[in-house]
Structure 1
Amino acid sequence: MTAIDPALGATRTTCPYCGVGCGVLATPDNNGGAAIAGDPEHPANFGRLCSKGSALGETLGLEDRLLYPMIRCSKGTMERIAWSDALDHVAHRFAHIVKRDGPGAVAFYLSGQLLTEDYYVANKLMKGFIGSANVDTNSRLCMASSVAGHRRAFGADTVPGCYEDLDAADLLVLVGSNAAWCHPVLFQRMLANKQARGARMVVIDPRRTDTAGDADLFLGLKPGTDTALFSGLLVALADSGALDSDYIAHHTSGFDEALARAKSIAGSVGATALATGLSEQEVADFFQMFKSSPRVVTLYSQGVNQSAQGTDKVNAIINCHLATGRIGKPGASPFSLTGQPNAMGGREVGGLANQLAAHMAFTPPDIDRVRRFWKAPRIATHEGLKAVQMFEAIAKGEIKALWVMGTNPAVSLPDADAARAALKKLELFVVSENVLSNDTVNAGVHVLLPAQAWGEKSGTVTNSERRISRQRAFLRAPGETKPDWWIVGEVAKRLGFGPAFDFKSAAEVFREHAALSAFENGGGRDFDIGALTSLSDEEFDELTPVMWPIRAGDSAPQQRFFANGGFFANDHRARFIAPEIPALRSETTAGRPLRLNTGRIRDQWHTMTRSGTSPRLGQHLPEPFVEIHPDDAIRYGVDDDSFARVTTDYGQCTLKVAVSERQQRGMLFAPIHWSEATASTARVGALVAPITDPFSGQPENKATPASIVPYEYVFRGFALSRVPLQLPYHVWWARVTVAGGYGYLFADNADLARWQTWLRSVTCGDLAEYKDFGGGVYRAASFIENRIATCLFVGPARDAGDWDVVKNLFAADALSDDQRRTLLSGKSMDGLASTGPIVCACFGVGRTTICDAIAAGAGTAAEIGAQLKAGTNCGSCIPELKRLAAQAGVVASADGHKQAVAS
């Protein structure tokens, strides 16, 4: 097994965040933590890490960890229970419900955070032995449309290209992908190509994201019109003689039908411009760039996938690559950027409700093949319910038992309030988790099972380019935590399926997974890792990153697919898909005149159960917000840095307002990360319409009709504490992890006397106060010895005190007498000046520090980096550095020095 003795040095593992799959070197510190660095030998990142990966060492603490099995007792409280009793209870209740109501009455909801081995065992139990395909995953919310598009076009869920194509492309087209924030390591690789080889970049997105800052052409199209744009491109390629007629003739079918449909959608440059809201010049420029660049990689992500027309968008993109033969060749392919670290591994083992393991489908031959391999007594014979359908079935009482593993659907699903309410109706609600509490756990869980976290568990993950890497344990498993595959296997044994689940290690699970991939394959299926079937435990532990397919007898894996055809349909041809005519399925109205787009921010991940524990990552954008164009802000009466209430037909949130010209008119943008545990009214998933793509089942997260109105607060403030606080019910708040404890940014309309009463009820120790109730100011702090225990600053909107200064004082081990006396001024003292909001999370460089450097003459991102190191690691802050430099005009002052002034 992997050594976890710090004396043995660093452990090679893989980052648990996005689908880039970066290699990590983790060196334990003997105190439950570890030093984190990028692995220079890993081919996904060559040593580079993004801000989230760099901060992984800050997320390893055991605060709020679930360490023992727990069960809800008759009094409604959760109590510790022995593993054997917990497993017996889960198995007994599942068996009872299946016997009474049939296998369709139970379900698993999995996660792209699971390891492949966890995914495999859960899928095997539900589909092979319980006999239901009601096993889906949160990957349904991020890449199901890519899966469906691949299967329609290629006959299999095959990613044709690899990361090396990003180095060789002459044109990089990013569609619905803010890669600068969401896949920054890959984006820096694209920029390196641009700088070294002169590759051009096109960014297609309704939002002018930071990714667009380096684009040669930005296309700010109307939401939902990607299909029209790429249909117009297909027509233009045909009209200009840019097709690869030989490739079309020998390796594809359906071209004429697809071209005819494309002409009906966008038959000319002018029609494409009209359909997309772009200018004819922008459209013509894009078409010419694509036509004249033989090496084109089109990269797409959630802006394409998370759509009620997501599969058609994917196929419209693929159509253009098939028509020009730009697929499976160095520097030329369509490329899906995966959202989660092991969404691909989940796809390999059939983690989606409409797939069987090893990229097999619910066809009679595949069903029989998997049944015989598993010796499965009651294998599922038809597709199960996809994520949104699954929770609708729970609400209707059709699914009575649900096991959630490693995800937080009460926050992340569309119409999240309805999803949370559905969970309360379950007869049996089981959650395997790392944390004691989150929105899903708090929605009435009956049994909590403690799963090992990153750094404690061992297995494999697969990244966006089909590369399998090891996640290795480098920390001892705390408490009674167990691997997910072990937990599922123990339940399977209690259900009577012991011989099929007698796995002793993750390596055993992996070997069976590899053997199934090669079983009766013979090159007929894309996913085949038969060469890895006979790995010993030691060889598994030492496994270096390897791409699939790597078939038995192969000396090296296959990097690319389809350059010479060889598709996985029965006739070995690709299918051109004629997409439906684009139409958003939910219309705006007078009451809901805007469209809400949701997505990620740079330094946070999903619902923040991991990234939210890092003080560093909470400093860039610490509060939930809604972004709006200046014209819309004026129209609807909202101001920058004020508050607004965003309402849809499904829910409402109160959010900080960010007015930005990068936002399209008629659109709102709000991040998805905040939950009931981290903010008062910011569960953005509750706003999203539960409309899904008819082919993939993926929800539409990008265009829910919405309204916005201002919401006024008289007071602003913040609190800092060594322990979590329960703020008064009337307060708008957002929790921020800070060094040494917990921070809360808040706004309120209550009188200050109530704050004084509240603070006295939650503090201990000496209390120092400054009160000016007439002026609307109240500040107070309690101390334990010379260290701040709790402090509270409340004041008029912009006069509550300097959050950054007080936060730095709070982090200090002890305050001097002068610092203690001047603390309640809320101003900088003794060199602890505010650095401003953090811009570079990798090195903790604040906006004020950066602006000071610009004022001193650092006029470019490179010069800022040379002076402060900002932007020299993952590079995701470089677009913001460029904006800050651009906003500052450099002028000569009277004494000949340079200073920065707002432009």
Structure 2
Amino acid sequence: MQDLPATEVRTTCPYCGVGCGVLARVAADGNVTVRGDTDHPANFGRLCSKGSALGETTSLEGRLLVPEIGGRETSWDEALDLVARRFSETIEKHGPDSVAFYISGQLLTEDYYVANKLMKGFIGSANIDTNSRLCMASSVAGHRRAFGEDIVPGTYEDLDQADLVVLTGSNTAWCHPILYQRLLAAREARGTKIVVIDPRRTATAEECDLHLAVDPGTDVLLFNGLLAHLDIAGVIDRNFVDSSTTGFAEALSVASAEASSPGAVAAGCGLAEADVRLLYELFAATSRTVTVYSQGVNQSAHGTDKVNAIINCHLATGRIGQPGMGPFSVTGQPNAMGGREVGGLANQLAAHMNFDRPEDVERVERFWSAPAMARQAGLKAVDMFRAAGDGRAKALWVMGTNPAVSMPDSARVRTALKSCEFVVVSDVTRTDTTRYADVLLPAAAWGEKGGTVTNSERRMSRQRPFLPVPGNARADWRIICDVAQRMGFGDAFTYDGPLEIFREHARLSAFENHGDRLFDIGALAEIADAEYEHFPPRHWPQASGEPCAERLLVDGRFPTPDGRARFVAVRQEGVALPVDAKRPIALNSGRLRDQWHTMTRTGRVPRLMANVPAPTLEIAPLDAHRRGLRDGDLAHISSRYGFARARVTVSDNQKPGTAFLPMHWSGHFAANAGAGSLATPLSDPFSGQPELKNVPVRIEREAIAWTGVLMTRRELRPTGFVHWTRHPVDGGWVYELCGTETPDQGILLSRRLLDGSPRNQFMEYTDRRGLTYRAAALDPAGALAEALLVAPPGQLPPRDWLVSLLGAREPLAAGQRMALLSGRSPVPMPSIGRVICSCFNVGEHQIAAAVTRGAASLEDIGQQLRAGTNCGSCRSEIRTLLDAHRLQAAE
């Protein structure tokens, strides 16, 4: 790898499981800029819109910088003493299972390791689970059932080498855009076919060769049908099946009985028979096939069976462990894989050992010299919060995650957090969850902490600090060790930094490991300080004395007692909760292209909020018509667990009978817009992963009587409104408001948000009917401090000019002051429109102008505006604009 300038630090992106390399530079004024690391083998210099904006997420605005007890700032000693004392007292009085940790894929491997060691080895309970339970637990369970161990066989290079890539339950173009661009490059270079299996027509489906819009929850039937077809087509690899697997006959028998023909599969999946046949024929005829799957498969009450249905097809054809082929689980978090390596899940032990093998429990116990080793699996995420709610879990520590928003049935989770006797939260910023903390501990953020992460292809990379740790924040590993020492476990937690923890993690992976477990990084057990500092990205396993293995299972041997993979006979089960007359729409949820989790990082970056500034419900035209819904209406969405509100987007991308709500909006950014409030806690019996993709809901139109918009420098959390959302802009925030009250009441509610400071010059206007209200405040220098507009629906004036004044912070001329209450600039002002390309801040009006100048293709737009030339996740929207222009020109 190339040497870097002294001011630039090589690190790893903290977003998705692609694990992109990042070069971070800190200027003399403290400004942070980032660019992609051209030497990193995950991304070769490319970054997505979120990664490109990482430098804009490092400010201290909203950061937790001082420990708090009951909302009172305090010292670390007082806070840690209280945490250790309360945990110890709870364990002494109620036993170790009365304590629980809920941790995060945002932790580094070293953080994860010490948290797992403390809970399972020294507290004596396995009640430690991670938000990765919501992400890839079904993949873990499916891998273990099929392979004997949680392993991803392939690498990203397989996407370059495949002739067919099947993307199922994966909106790769938005959720893993760098991998998607890699795949498109392979199609350009070698003609790779791309098939997308997804109920929605996503951005990924826009550029595929075949899109199968399956009915939600029917994946097992589709892949069982594929397995049966592979047998009929005569492409079963009998030598591989006979020498390297068990259980084929039973799996095939079940699949053939359930999916007797492509026609039967098509009818059961809501597909055209011709599309099913084409998929089956492509798969049968293409040796180099990779099946990429993600949350659309995992986040299901039958997710593990879906995973095994996919793996069965690859085992049957011997398409595993070889270049350009294999099942490929792509993770959603930067260190979901690292958490799996150290046993971060409640049903795992460290180093890929497991509770169902007593010898593994005893081995870890001896290695750690653990005084109170847990001997059975603990509470998984959904059950953990149930236990916190009913009093079984009396002390809970939440690290780096926001379950009050992200967990299913989130209203019950919030009730559980409120009722739990003692709640500790360590995080970098205030969230909906920190509101329930008895003790709040400020943690170091990305850019301030160091350690390792492992991406979706088993590649370990360093995250390196390039910023000082602000205030009194501390690294997670240190916070955990400080508590452990105060609980009396000091001798086992006296690490002097992440490197010492990493060495122990590597030693444990090799301890009494004679090839039984493929996870082995024993070659790194004595890694030198300098080597760890300059640690290049590398795959595991890396056993002592053995070369690094990039691709696993090459020899057809599996980490099972007999060395054989297992086919798992799976059946298409009914959905966890079927739609009915009361709740006739199946609600899906997931990510948007520019957002991350509950927006604690991305929600403060104006350009990342510009494409979709507010939560929207996508619904099919037929379903919208039946409910009297139009674009922009406010919808009330209800399930048996709760309700949410969002603006309506009528979209042909939605299959009739389905709808889509983004997962991101928390109470910090909108009122009652969280998908977790609607989601069911019903979970997969093998993985414990809840059903988040198929929730029966009722959708109704809210009769909105007034709307408003507040543009202000201040950060607020409005109360008393039927609905509000907010998004950042240069210089402040924009709050969208609305209500079912009469307009005069809406005006009164909205006026309460205004800053009444006597320092400001204030002006306002109300029409004679009491339906329209305008107000503006200028600061002492004569610059716009805030403006409020209220009007009946559809009658608000433009706000682009006012927003630009807010960001400029310049004294206004007399003509500008006179125009403030109209909301319209006194001189023509160009507007870029809604941002389409977040990487280069290109708006829809700029794209339209380029089309007028003759741009007729994605390539033309890229040459003129650069839009679509970085991560490419905006290409589908650009294509839609191009198509609309062609249609308009043809009329």
Q: Normalized against structure 1, the TM-score is what?
A: 0.96
For residues 579 and 800 of structure 1, do their structure 2 counterparts lie closer, same or farther at Cα, with a shift above 3 Å needed? same
Separation (CA, whole Å) in 2 of partners of 1:242 and 1:773 = 79
Is the contact between residue 784 and residue 812 of structure 2 (CA under 8 Å) also seen in structure 1? no
- Among 727, 747, 755, the alignment partner of 2:738 is 747
Identity rate of aligned residues, in percent? 53
Partners of 1:126 and 1:673 in 2: CA distance = 30
Give per-residue Cα distances to partners, 1:512-538, cap 9 Å, x unaligned.
111111111122111111111111222
Instruction: Please name the residue that 2:382 is paired with.
Output: 388
Q: CA deviation at 1:404?
A: 0.3
Q: Residue 221 of structure 1 is aligned with which of 207, 214, 225? A: 214
What residue number does 1:255 align with? 248
- In the TM superposition, what is the alpha-carbon distance from 1:756 to its structure 2 partner? 6.8
Which residue, out of 149, 153, 163, partners 2:146? 153
Aligned to 1:54: 52
1:359-390 alpha-carbon deviations (Å, 9 max, x no partner): 11011111111111111111100000100011
Q: Distance in 2 between matches of 1:173 and 1:626?
A: 27
1:769 lines up with 2:764 in the alignment: yes
**Matched position secondary structure for 1:307:** coil
Residues 1:251 and 1:829: Cα distance change in structure 2 (over 3 Å): farther
- State the 1:7 CA deviation: 8.4
* Corresponding residue to 2:872 among 875, 880, 884: 875
Q: Deviations over 1:401-446 (max 9, x none)?
A: 00000000010000000001001121110001111x211111x210
Partners of 1:409 and 1:312 lie apart in 2 by 26
Quote the residue 2:789 is aligned against: 793
3-state SS of paired residue (1:335): strand
State the distance in 1 between where 2:645 and 2:261 align: 43
SS in 2 for 1:774: coil
Tell me, yes or no, if structure 1 residue 469 matches structure 2 residue 461. Answer: yes
Which amino acid is the alignment partner of residue 888 of structure 1?
H
Which amino acid in structure 2 is aligned with residue 606 of structure 1?
Answer: H
Opposite residue 516 of structure 2, the aligned amino acid is G
Which amino acid in structure 1 is aligned with residue 254 of structure 2?
R
Q: How does 1:197-276 map to 2 (within 5 A)?
A: 197-276=190-269
Counterpart Cα distance in 1 of 2:836 and 2:521: 42
Note the alpha carbon deviations across 1:214-257, whole angstroms, 9 max, x for none. 11000001010110000000000001101111000000000000
Report Cα offsets for 1:78-124 as digits up to 9, x if no partner: 11111111111111110101011111110000000000000000000
Q: How far apart are the structure 2 equivalents of 1:757 and 1:114?
A: 42
User: Where does residue 548 of structure 1 map in the other structure?
Assistant: 540
Separation in structure 1 between the aligned mates of residue 772 and residue 55 of structure 2, nearest angstrom? 38
* Aligned: 1:512 with 2:508: no
Tell me how far apart the structure 1 counterparts of residues 108 and 750 of structure 2 sit (CA, whole Å): 49
Q: What is the CA RMSD across the aligned residues, in angstroms?
A: 1.6
1:534 aligns with 2:561: no
Q: 1:728 to 1:109 in 2, by over 3 A?
A: closer
Contact 1:808 1:832 in 2 (8 A): no
Residue 11 in structure 1 maps to residue 9 in structure 2? yes
State the distance in 1 between where 2:890 and 2:687 align.
Answer: 48
Residue among 545, 564, 567 paired with 1:576: 567
Q: Which residue of 1 aligns with 2:427?
A: 433
**Alignment CA distance shift 1:872-1:126 (3 Å):** same
In the TM superposition, what is the alpha-carbon distance from 1:771 to its structure 2 partner? 3.1
Secondary structure of 2:452's aligned partner: strand
Structure 1, gaps ≥5 residues long: 73-77, 891-899
Aligned length: 882
Structure 2 partner of 1:893: none
Instruction: Report the Cα offset of residue 865 of structure 1.
Output: 1.0
| Cα shift at 1:32 | 4.0
TM-superposed CA distance for 1:728, in Å, is: 5.0
Look up the SS of the partner of 1:358 in the other structure. Answer: helix
| Secondary structure of residue in 2 paired with 1:41 | coil
Classify 1:788/1:697 alpha carbon distance in 2 versus 1 (closer, same or farther; 3 Å).
Answer: same
Q: Would the aligned equivalents of 1:139 and 1:343 in 2 still touch at CA under 8 Å?
A: yes
Post-superposition shift, 1:133? Answer: 0.3
* Equivalent in 159, 169, 185 of residue 192 of structure 1: 185
CA change 1:346–1:417 in 2 (3 A) is same
Give the equivalent residue in structure 1 for 2:688. Answer: 697
- Match status 1:300 vs 2:293: yes
Letter in 1 for 2:767: D
Aligned pairs (5 A) from 1:829-840? 830=827, 832-840=829-837
2:118 alignment partner, SS class:
helix
Which 10-residue stretch deviates more, 369-378 or 845-854? Answer: 845-854
Question: What letter is aligned with 1:316?
Answer: A
Structure 2: distance between partners of 1:691 and 1:158: 26
**Post-superposition CA distance 1:862-886 (Å, at most 9, x none):** 1111111111111100111111101
**TM alignment of 1:60-71, pairs within 5 A:** 60-71=58-69
Deviation (angstroms), 1:737? 1.4
TM-score w.r.t. structure 2 length? Answer: 0.97
The answer to whether the Cα contact below 8 Å between 1:805 and 1:833 also exists between their aligned partners in 2 is no
Q: Name the amino acid aligned to 1:622.
A: P
Question: d(CA) in 2 for partners of 1:428 and 1:350?
Answer: 25
Q: What is the rounded CA distance, in whole Å, between the counterparts of 1:322 and 1:763 in structure 2?
A: 70
Unaligned runs of 5+ in 2: none
User: What residue number does 1:732 align with?
Assistant: 723
- Aligned partners of 1:815 and 1:800: how far apart in 2? 25
- The corresponding residue for 1:811 is 807
Q: Judging changes above 3 Å, is the alpha-carbon distance between structure 1 residues 861 and 717 closer, same or farther for their aligned structure 2 residues?
A: farther
Aligned-residue offset at 1:831:
5.7
- 1:378 is paired with a residue whose SS is coil
Correspondence 1:324-723 to 2 at 5 A: 324-362=317-355, 363-435=357-429, 437-442=430-435, 444-555=436-547, 557-723=548-714
AA paired with 1:808?
A: S
In structure 2, the partner of 1:823 is 820
CA distance in structure 2 between the partners assigned to 1:379 and 1:726 by the alignment? 45
Q: 2:776 aligns with which of 766, 781, 788?
A: 781
**How do 1:132-151 residues align onto structure 2 when only pairs under 5 Å count?**
132-151=125-144
Name the amino acid aligned to 2:402.
N
- Counterpart secondary structure, 1:8: coil
- 1:787 deviates by 2.0
Query: Would you say the 8 A contact 1:594–1:668 is kept in 2?
Result: yes
**Deviation (angstroms), 1:481:** 0.6
Q: Any idea what SS the aligned residue of 2:25 has?
A: strand
| CA apart distance, 1:806 | 2.4
- Amino acid paired to 1:285: L
| CA displacement, residues 513-571 of structure 1 (integer Å, 9 cap, x when unaligned) | 1111111112211111111111122221110111101111234x211112321101100
Kindly indicate whether the alpha-carbon contact (under 8 Å) linking 1:804 and 1:835 is maintained by their aligned counterparts in 2: no
Q: Deviations over 1:665-703 (max 9, x none)?
A: 111110111111110120220111111001000000011
Tell me which of 271, 280, 288 is aligned to 2:273: 280
Matches within 5 A, 1:65-214: 65-72=63-70, 78-214=71-207
Instruction: Give yes or no for contact 1:763–1:790 (8 Å, CA) kept in 2.
Output: no
Query: Residue 841 of structure 1 aligns with which residue?
Result: 838
8 Å CA contact 1:121–1:485 kept in 2: the answer is: yes
Counterpart residue identity of residue 805, structure 1 = W
Whether the 8 Å contact between 2:57 and 2:602 is mirrored in structure 1 is yes
Measure, in 2, the Cα distance between the counterparts of 1:156 and 1:281: 37
Q: Decide whether the 8 Å contact of 1:809 with 1:815 is kept in 2.
A: no
Flag the 1:808–1:259 CA change in 2: closer, same or farther, 3 A. same
AA at the equivalent of 1:547: H
Q: Which moved more, 1:740-749 or 1:484-493?
A: 740-749
Q: Deviations over 1:130-188 (max 9, x none)?
A: 11000000000010000000000000000000000010000010001001110001000
User: 1:380/1:835 Cα in 2 relative to 1: closer, same or farther (>3 Å)?
Assistant: same
**Aligned equivalents of 1:625 and 1:538: distance in 2?**
49
Q: Structure 1 pair 325/739, CA: closer, same or farther in 2 (3 Å)?
A: same
